[in-house]
A = this chain, B = another copy of it.
Amino acid sequence: MKLYTYSGAPNPRRVHIYLAERGIEVPFEQVDIMQRANRTPEFMSQVNAMGGLPVLELDDGSHIAESVAICRYFEALHPEPPLFGSTPYEQGIVEMWIRRIELNFMVPVGMVWIHGSPLTRAVMKNQIAAAADQYRAVVQGYFGFLDRHLADHDFLTGETYSVADILALCTLDFAAKLNDLPHSPEQKHLTRWYESVSTRPSAGA
């Protein structure tokens, strides 16, 4: 088994944090996204037809792509302690927050990255500056939503750390560090949550 990854990229980081939380060690191989090593015909035909990272390669040569799918695979193998919820209700709520963070936070940050970053300009060729501006505002609005929600929740799903917090941490760092979109320190509930999750030992994985 090995994990194709690229250290520092937001989606691979989710899996590294998840594995660190569970104490699971998996050998990994770096694939240089900035050199487009994940878009070669060889990688796309043999590892991931979508060209994305991370990808888990199993001992029989099969592959599971997509960060959350890899985490779910390990959760099914090692269900305790649960990071995707335990009871049916908890499983539903964790999935709800995974999807909220993915679709309402990571997708808009991704729009800013694709349409507004100097780092993606050469590859994208057809960036739409107005789209970057519009989704910057969406992200800033979402910081406010998270801050209000976290006023009376320790973690996104309630009292327990979950995969949804891992996704939100990676997205927030991606927004702040690579897209110049930090939340405001005046958003004190979001700031308290961020300090809590980013100082866990797993956050440095």
Residues of A at the B interface (CB closer than 8 Å) are 49-50, 56, 58, 62, 64-66, 68-70, 72-74, 76-77, 87-89, 91-93, 95-96, 99-100, 102-104, 107, 126, 128, 130-131, 134, 145, 149
B96→A65 contact, CB < 8 A: yes
B88→A77 contact, CB < 8 A: yes
A95→B107 contact, CB < 8 A: no
A92→B107 contact, CB < 8 A: no
A49-B145, A128-B130, A130-B128 in contact; A73/B92 too (CB < 8 A)? yes
A92→B69 contact, CB < 8 A: yes
CB A148 to nearest CB in B, in angstroms, measures: 8
CA distance A140 to B128 in the complex (A): 19
Which of B50, B56, B58, B103 is in CB contact (< 8 Å) with A104?
B50
- Besides A72-B95, A73-B88, A131-B131, 17 new A-B residue pairs in contact (Cβ under 8 A), listed by A number: A49-B145, A50-B100, A50-B104, A50-B145, A66-B95, A66-B96, A66-B99, A66-B100, A68-B99, A69-B93, A72-B91, A73-B91, A73-B95, A74-B88, A76-B88, A76-B92, A128-B128
